[in-house]
Amino acid sequence: MIFPVLTPDSLGLLLLGGVRILFYLGFFFYIIFALIALRQIEMMRKTVVTPFSSLVLLIGAAHLLLAIGAFIFAFFTLL
Amino acid sequence: MPEIFDSTKATKKAKLHTPQAPIGRNPEGGLTSTAEVQDVTVVEAAEDAKVSRMTTEERKSKHVDDYSSVMRNESPSRNPFVAFSAKPFNVAFDAQHSDEQVLLLLRQSIITQIKFVLIAIGLLFVPFLFNAVGMLDFLPLRFQFVANVGWYLLVFSYVLETFLSWFYNVYIITDERIIDVDFNSLLFKNVAYAKIDNIEDITATTAGALGSIFDYGTVRIQTAGAISEFEFVSVPQPSKVVSFLNELLIEEEQEFHNKRAN
């Protein structure tokens, strides 16, 4: 069985690959978190109705879009 | 959808529901129906209904300013971000009765949130600190940039969560009940209700230098219901809240006595 030879360069690439995957996972989980936050905002504004409620929902939606945007940005920057 | 508070409607509503002429009686006061016995029962029921309806109307026709000196000195609040919001406009909650009015909305004093603002400002500078000590130097520049973007997203989510937690963790006092709305985390919601006439004991505690200077503290309300204690944590002007609750209690007692007298 032939083992690949680990040179400093290949080790660096391997590490960067691992870091890249970690970043992708991090941003992906952030999208899920933003979705839960949006769901929670909806529940909150139904529980207590204030004049500011509609704007809070808008902020939650903007947060979700930001999370998706960040994931796409990270995906293409780290390719 | 529950009715939202409008001080101008309070008296109008009472006028709209002015009791009609007693059912089953002619103008001369005699019974009109052929089945006299049945009608007597109907008329008695109608009279009973009239008494209870009158009592409710009397209460609803009474504006909070009529019986509360605390509310008389407070102007209706239109600002949704205040921690002590008396007679708030356009504020309602999901389990609100159709004729229930929100009289006071409380949140934690804004002073208690300063530590979160300072933490958020501190978190904003963490990437600069990391750059200064070269903590991410082992990564290529584009990786460092993405790491910074991720960090600022986390800071934004921290600010958003802290704000939402402050804004929606409210204590509501209506003309019928006290309500404690708690959102302890993203996935935990707890709403507790207690009728005003179930209140047994109220205590206000102001502790610490900041509490004394900025006049905020905790109001504890013992009730006879399933939830024995309500805690309004770090609310502004706790003594005023206690006074108002006492006035509501007195008003409830008077209503109870009026009902019995009728």
Q: Quick check: B56 and B73 in contact, CB under 8 A?
A: no
Q: Is residue B67 part of a domain?
A: yes
Question: Which percentage of chain B shows pLDDT scores above 90?
Answer: 53
Domain boundary among B142, B165, B188: B165
Query: Which among A26, A60, A28, A65 is positioned nearest to A41, based on CA atoms?
Result: A60
| Mean pLDDT within B228-241 | 93
CB A48 to CB B91 under 8 A? yes
CA distance A70 to chain B (A): 7
Q: Quick check: B221 and B201 in contact, CB under 8 A?
A: yes
pLDDT digits (tens, 9 = 90+) for B19-64: 333 333 344 444 444 344 444 444 454 444 444 444 555 555 578 8
pLDDT digits (tens, 9 = 90+) for B177-224: 999 999 987 778 899 999 998 999 999 999 889 999 999 999 999 998
Domain hosting residue A34, numbered range: 23-77
- Say how far apart CA B6 and CA A72 lie, in whole Å: 47
Residue B158 identity: Y
- Whether residues B161 and B175 share a domain: the answer is no
User: What pLDDT is stored for residue A12 in this prediction?
Assistant: 84
- Chain B residues close to A43, C-beta within 8 Å: 189
Q: Which residues pair with A48 in a beta bridge?
A: B93
- Whether residues B34 and B86 share a domain: the answer is yes
CB B91 to CB A66 under 8 A? no
| Mean pLDDT within B119-128 | 96
Domain hosting residue B57, numbered range: 9-108+169-257
| Mean pLDDT, chain A, integer | 91
Q: Is residue A73 part of a domain?
A: yes
Q: Indicate the range of A39-48, B9-18, B245-254 predicted with least confidence.
A: B9-18
Classify residue B183 as exposed, middle or buried by CB count within 10 Å of its CB (0-12, 13-18, 19+).
buried
ipTM value: 0.90
Q: Quick check: B194 and B227 in contact, CB under 8 A?
A: yes
User: What pLDDT is stored for residue B207 in this prediction?
Assistant: 87
Q: Helix, strand, coil proportions of chain B in percent (round to 5)?
A: 50, 20, 30
- Whether residues B183 and B104 share a domain: the answer is yes
User: What pLDDT is stored for residue B103 in this prediction?
Assistant: 93
Domain boundary among B165, B200, B234: B165
| Mean pLDDT within B57-72 | 76
- Chain B residues close to A37, C-beta within 8 Å: 157, 160-161, 164, 186
HSE, side-chain direction, 13 A CA sphere, residue B131: 12
CA distance A26 to chain B (A): 8
- Whether residues B159 and B173 share a domain: the answer is no
- Whether residues B28 and B104 share a domain: the answer is yes
Q: What angle do CA B204, B209, B212 make, to 5 degrees?
A: 40
| Pick from A47, A59, A78: CB nearest B142 | A78
B91: nearest CA in chain A?
A50
- Whether residues B245 and B134 share a domain: the answer is no
- Whether residues B182 and B249 share a domain: the answer is yes
User: What pLDDT is stored for residue B9 in this prediction?
Assistant: 46
Q: Is residue A32 part of a domain?
A: yes
Q: Which chain B residues have any C-beta within 8 angstroms of a chain A C-beta?
A: 4, 78, 80-81, 88-94, 139-140, 142-143, 145-147, 149-150, 153-154, 156-157, 160-161, 164, 167-168, 170, 172, 181, 183, 186-187, 189, 191
Q: Is residue A41 part of a domain?
A: yes
pLDDT digits (tens, 9 = 90+) for A37-76: 999 999 999 999 998 988 999 999 999 999 999 999 999 9
Q: Is residue A8 part of a domain?
A: no
- Segment holding B173, helix H or strand E: strand B171-174
Domain count, chain B: 2
Residue B221 identity: I
Q: Is residue A28 part of a domain?
A: yes
CB B93 to CB A47 under 8 A? yes
The domain that holds B102 is classified in CATH as 2.30.29.30
- Chain A residues close to B147, C-beta within 8 Å: 23
- Say how far apart CA A50 and CA B161 lie, in whole Å: 18
Q: Is residue B121 part of a domain?
A: yes
User: What pLDDT is stored for residue A25 in this prediction?
Assistant: 97
Query: Which among A37, A40, A56, A52 is positioned nearest to B92, based on CA atoms?
Result: A52
User: What pLDDT is stored for residue B61 in this prediction?
Assistant: 59
Q: Is residue B99 part of a domain?
A: yes
Q: Is residue B122 part of a domain?
A: yes
User: What pLDDT is stored for residue B29 in this prediction?
Assistant: 40
- Whether residues B20 and B87 share a domain: the answer is yes
Q: Is residue B208 part of a domain?
A: yes
| Mean pLDDT within B101-108 | 94
| Mean pLDDT within B123-148 | 93
